[in-house]
Chains A and B, each alone.
Chain A
Amino acid sequence: MVSLKKYSGTFYIFLKNQTLTKFQYRGTLWADILFFIFGYGTQFYLIFLLVGKFGTLGGWTQYEVMLLYSMSILSYTIACTFLMGLYNRTPEKIRNGEFDQTLTKPMNPLIYEVISSFSAYYTIHVILGIVMVCVSFGLLNVTLSIGNMFFLILVVIGGAMIQGGVLVLFSSASFFLIGDNPLVYSVFVTLRLLNENPISIYPPFAQIFLTVIMPFAFVSFYPAQYFLGKNDFLMFHPMLQYLTPLVGLLVLLAAAALWLCGIKQYKSSGN
């Protein structure tokens, strides 16, 4: 309990100061919100147009694909709120030896990195993500029961843990690879795009890959099947619809364990 107080107290101070600094730069803040609306909004609209034009995508209607997309975006923004700092800044710290500081703090190094680089302003993205999910359900004319609403929250958190786990995984790569490795980082962005379409349109090996190896299919595809009452179960068991929270937990824990193992590889740097 003492350590919980320690972590929450430290987190609160970081959060307070970051929010204050961020809101000092109002211009950047608004530019950021506009970027989000234009960037993701355009994509949202594009799905509407394109899928509408062709009727369906792998048996999914335009609104259904929009739900898929918005669930993926929502959980992604949640993951980014917590872990974008870790993904962006920690590799640089590891390379230039600044990570020394983290290792002399009386805290779990991973938790310290996460709370010290928490991106508070990303919560605005989260809110916009929630709006997108609500719009999609509205367009689909689906009303959720209380139980389903609760399950949706779990699914979104699970999806955030899956995407967050992958962010942690890629950030741990910098312990093992010494030089810059921009490729590793762009792989994530590309792979993530795959879960914005129904995975049933992909060839079997890609479906297996997205279910077993890099389980992005759990972020939106399987849970969306549940909410929409779909049954294009492909080669996998229908139970997968319910597993998102569990898969998320496993992915995140595995990634965190690997990250903490990576510390042994840390070589610091001379001065």
Chain B
Amino acid sequence: MIEVNNVSKEFKVYTRPSGFINTVKSAFWREHKIKRAVTNICFNIEPGELVGYVGPNGAGKSTTIKMLSGILTPSAGDIRVLGIVPYKQRMKNAKNIGVVFGQRSQLYWDLPVRDSFVLHEKMYDIPKPIFKDNVKLFTEILQMEEFIDQPVRQLSLGQKMRANLAIALLHNPPVIYLDEPTVGLDIVAKAAIREFIKEINKMQKTTVIITTHDMTDIEEICQRLILIDKGQLYYDGDLHFFKQQYGGDYVITIQVKSNSINPQHPMLSVVEKEANRIVIKGNSAELSLVDAIDFYNRNYEIIDIGIKESSIESILRDIYTGSIQMQQ
């Protein structure tokens, strides 16, 4: 459905000269550097997949989304979305996709939300019954009744984002790109948006690509994870497998009745130790969490226990900061 083959995108960046003489000189001749936003990226996405596209700021996520939606032309490589080359057949591609940019709004400032919807109905030539059904359905799931007739400028960020999501899906696009759809939203709004995305995916088999810095979005919505950093692809595959492979660390805090904890398991390392309290660290590849707890349970009478497993967020933090080395 979405094919990305060896895609690169370069930008010319003009260096800003320092000093007066150099600034004057730059009016006639400027030096530029080639900045590679994305380098040799390949992936294929099947219909109905929910894909999380993650990476630190400046990794090339938005650039990829912009190439997929036809806004930018790749410097090299080949992109096809439902068999269409997005930047060549921009209008045809636009009918197949829905786009939400978290930082920008698709709505028209002065118009009530409902009028923006009608505008999209005309623009996308949506058949009347489909339009009516969708407006009704989306208003319900996204709880938009209270603000659908208000001008956009009066809406809160969360309301605007819900309306943006709805408008992007009005024409039943088979593919939807969400670029940071939950940025700046409160917990309730985030939950509503996640629910909606999952619901639409279930009902209409919509293919979803979502970029976000909130890993809860990824854990709740996606099955597949694509990780890029500095424009290069680092991981592409199942989310659970990713967690297992790069995570699997756990930290257990155990408090026991006796006054000393002595025997220690060779697979576990001690992080902290007091008289009757111990913090240990292990990895499920070496010793499963259950076995670790069982080991202490057999030897002591446990009063209290606390468990922390590594989350996608902590794994990614370790990857971004370089604590975990990834093979490409």
Contacts and interface: CB of A to CB of B under 8 A. Distances in A.
Interface of A: 2, 5-6, 9-10, 12-14, 17, 21, 97-98, 100-101, 103-109, 264, 266-268, 270-271
A100 B125 contact: no
Contacts of B71: 100, 103-104, 266, 268
Interface residues on B, range: 20 to 34
A108 B123 contact: no
B62 interface: yes
Interface string B61-74: 01100100111110
Contact of B73 (A2, A100, A107, A264): A264
A259 B118 CA distance: 28
Dominant secondary structure at the B interface = mixed
Closest 10 CB pairs of A and B: A9-B122, A106-B94, A271-B103, A10-B122, A103-B71, A106-B95, A104-B99, A10-B123, A106-B91, A6-B125
A270 B122 CA distance: 30
Contacts of A104: 69-71, 94, 97, 99
B104 A103 contact: no
Contacts of A270: 58, 62-63
A14 B109 CA distance: 12
Nearest to B66: A268
A264 B72 CA distance: 8
Contacts of B122: 6, 9-10, 12-13
B317 to A, nearest CB: 22
A267 B11 contact: yes
A69 to B, nearest CB: 36
Nearest to B108: A17
A109 B103 CA distance: 21
A5 B123 CA distance: 9
Nearest to A98: B104
A68 B99 CA distance: 50
B110 interface: yes
Nearest to B115: A17
Contacts of A2: 125
B118 A13 contact: yes
6 contacts: A2-B125, A13-B118, A13-B122, A103-B71, A270-B58, A271-B104
B126 to A, nearest CB: 10
Contact of B101 (A109, A267, A271): A271
B224 to A, nearest CB: 24
B74 to A, nearest CB: 12
Given A5-B125, A17-B115, A105 B66 contact: no
Nearest to B99: A104
Contacts of B104: 97-98, 100-101, 271
Nearest to A106: B94
B295 interface: no
A103 B90 contact: yes
Contacts of A21: 110
B171 to A, nearest CB: 8
B311 interface: no
Interface in B43-78: 58, 62-63, 66, 69-73
A6 B123 contact: yes
Contact of B123 (A97, A100, A107, A271): A107
